[in-house]
Structure 1
Amino acid sequence: MTARTRREQAAAQQGLLPSRRGARHQSTRIDASRRGFATTLRALEQLADTGAQVSLHVRDLDRGHVVVAGDDFVAQPIGGVGVVAVLLEVAVQFDAGTLDANELVDRSTVAPAPVAGLWNHLAATNFTLADVAVLAAATGDPVATNALLARVGTEAVRARLESLGLTSLAVLDGFRDDRGPDHAPDHAVGSTRETAGLFAALVNSKVVAPAISAQVAEWLSLNQDLSLVASATGLDPFDHENDKHRILFINKTGRADGVRAEAGVLAGPRAGVAYAITVCFDDLSIGHRLRVHDAMRTFGIELMEYVF
């Protein structure tokens, strides 16, 4: 089945992910309210004791209630998680016809971010906007993201988020190697409450239109970074959809100096959740960094226990 066929089917069924999740899990759901996140909270408290700023939000998709939260209203740097907002505006403009998915983008015309990403290492210098969106979603490629942001504009992304009632989530700038006094301090900022809420709305086909939600969710399902919270899923980073245990999962990660963030949706036979976590910390040593990674992986384990 082609990507276009999947999107059309998704629109007809009121969203790709909700229809799959409902068909697969609804009849076997049980009360998950007693499964907790005590180990995660202890790990995050230990990080906070060292001066880290921690924010967490988990929302049950079936019941709509908040499972666990901490400082989830605070806007913090979220790195590449902000790419989701860019992809959303791209999907809207593709659907409206104001942006041509087949338009070719030349890498030489894009603001550079030479220390990271995949596109800089490819021989091909020209891709269609549709392929650039895949690069941005699947690998978090900063040059690809800069290309998309240059085409739709930060103002359009801001207006789109505001139209959805998202006031703390914002894309401030493209990716840069060096940020000077004339640049925005971060690529993107957001609260975990709003970020998790956006992911919940995507899988429930409530972002702009079902076809738009399905397109963004389809892009995010290609994300290959399963190294943080998602490491607990045991999924193949290159093929999420064909896992024999039928885990429903999409996510996006964000990294910057002293920042680790992740947001996504995870569903199993007992429950489905939208989640977001952000940790801002002093990256003084590899030990400091690994403690943050360990806490996020602990959170992933308890998410898996909740949904399974």
Structure 2
Amino acid sequence: TRRGGRGAGGAGGGDTFAPRRASLRQRSFIGTLKALDALSTSGAQVSVRVSDLDGGDEVLSGDDHLTLPVVGLGVVPLLIEVAAQIEFGQLDPLEIIERRSVDEVALAGVWQHLAAPALPVRDLAVLAAAASDAAAANALLARVGIGAVRSRMEDIGLEKTALLDGFRDVRGPDDAPQVALSSARELAGLFAAIVNARVVSPAVSAQVGEWLNLNQDLALVGAATALDPFAHEDDRYGMLFVNKTGRADGIRADAGVLAGPRGGVSYALVVCFDDLSIAHRLRAHEAFRALGADLMEYVF
């Protein structure tokens, strides 16, 4: 047990990080535990949850109840609302949205580098899921409405997950301090529900899962999978990996589902740390890769 200090991204200090390892399948997760303990000792705020995909049994947890900033993972509730509105006839997937309809944002994404001044809703969802495209996400959010996203999250029973704002280059005093908040427990449960077709409807779950399966950010937990980040929808070794990441100064988050021949898990890991040097970032990234390696051992 370690007592964490104050991390970046608004993480509060003083909480005791005490990861629990379940006896399920007797997997050790020693690498993950050592990496997370090192992070906590350095003052980072750490929250982790791993659950068995079939039964929902806890495999590993530590401070998984904490509500923390998750940045780009806020795209997931947005995609759920977009898919739901398409499914129920409230939104035309081929409706054209102009880039100039929202403020310019120079954060992650490719739309800002494309010549196309407008794209259909479905293509924007692909960009938001695959490339964490900030402009595409903002355009979708402006179209469906943040109130609708929040209402949808309440309808599906999420109490600690909230999309607070769109993506911004600079956050002023009148803006929400974070894009999105959630807990590792709810994120792991949400991804399990998506893969098990229990979010809104089977069709909505399938569509959201299809979009998320295009995610190209496999640099955190996904680094241990050896999958091609640009083409991993159909892996010949029978692996399923669906995930979404969140990144900002002092914040790293990754949640998803990993399944293989021996079973499957849903997982979420959120780390808020003092982003003082590249060494601090590398230490945070190492924890995600350690978790990925242990998850691969679990499912293979």
TM-score, normalised via structure 1 length: 0.89
The yes-or-no answer on 1:79 pairing with 2:71 is: yes
190, 201, 205: which one aligns with 1:209 = 201
Instruction: Tell me the distance in 2 between the aligned counterparts of 1:255 and 1:79.
Output: 6
Q: Is the 8 A contact 2:99 2:118 kept in 1?
A: yes
Greater shift, 181-190 or 110-119, is seen at: 110-119
Task: Work out which structure has the larger RCO, using CA pairs closer than 8 Å and 6 or more positions apart in sequence.
Answer: 1
1:300 maps to which residue? 292
The yes-or-no answer on 1:67 pairing with 2:44 is: no
Instruction: Tell me the distance in 2 between the aligned counterparts of 1:59 and 1:243.
Output: 22
Q: Is the 8 A contact 1:78 1:188 kept in 2?
A: yes
The yes-or-no answer on 1:234 pairing with 2:252 is: no
1:279 maps to which residue? 271
The yes-or-no answer on 1:89 pairing with 2:90 is: no
Q: Is the 8 A contact 2:242 2:257 kept in 1?
A: yes
1:62 Cα offset (Å): 1.8
The yes-or-no answer on 1:55 pairing with 2:47 is: yes
The yes-or-no answer on 1:123 pairing with 2:115 is: yes
Instruction: Tell me the distance in 1 between the aligned counterparts of 2:173 and 2:66.
Output: 24
The yes-or-no answer on 1:198 pairing with 2:187 is: no
Instruction: Tell me the distance in 1 between the aligned counterparts of 2:283 and 2:116.
Output: 38
Instruction: Tell me the distance in 1 between the aligned counterparts of 2:234 and 2:196.
Output: 21
How many pairs does the alignment contain? 278
Q: Is the 8 A contact 1:226 1:237 kept in 2?
A: yes
1:193 Cα offset (Å): 0.3
The structure whose residues are more often helix, as a share, is 1
For the residue of structure 2 that corresponds to 1:278, the secondary structure is strand
Residue pairs, 1:104-119, within 5 angstroms: 104-119=96-111
Q: Is the 8 A contact 1:223 1:251 kept in 2?
A: yes
Q: Is the 8 A contact 2:108 2:132 kept in 1?
A: no
Matched residue type, 1:233: T
Instruction: Tell me the distance in 2 between the aligned counterparts of 1:37 and 1:104.
Output: 47
The yes-or-no answer on 1:35 pairing with 2:35 is: no
2:262 maps to which residue? 270
Instruction: Tell me the distance in 2 between the aligned counterparts of 1:45 and 1:177.
Output: 33
Q: Is the 8 A contact 2:51 2:266 kept in 1?
A: yes
The yes-or-no answer on 1:157 pairing with 2:149 is: yes
Instruction: Tell me the distance in 1 between the aligned counterparts of 2:123 and 2:287.
Output: 34
2:20 maps to which residue? none
Instruction: Tell me the distance in 1 between the aligned counterparts of 2:55 and 2:153.
Output: 25
1:32 Cα offset (Å): 5.7
Which of structure 1's runs of 4+ aligned residues deviate more than 6 A?
Answer: none
Q: Is the 8 A contact 1:236 1:243 kept in 2?
A: no
1:8-46 residue CA offsets vs partner (Å, 9 max, x unmatched): xxxxxxxxxxxxxxxxxxxxxxx9621121210111111
Structure 2 gap ranges (5+): 1-22
For the residue of structure 2 that corresponds to 1:282, the secondary structure is coil
1:19 maps to which residue? none
Instruction: Tell me the distance in 2 between the aligned counterparts of 1:116 and 1:265.
Output: 23
Instruction: Tell me the distance in 2 between the aligned counterparts of 1:167 and 1:304.
Output: 30
Q: What is the root-mean-square deviation in Å for CA atoms of aligned residues?
A: 1.1
The yes-or-no answer on 1:289 pairing with 2:281 is: yes
Instruction: Tell me the distance in 2 between the aligned counterparts of 1:226 and 1:112.
Output: 27
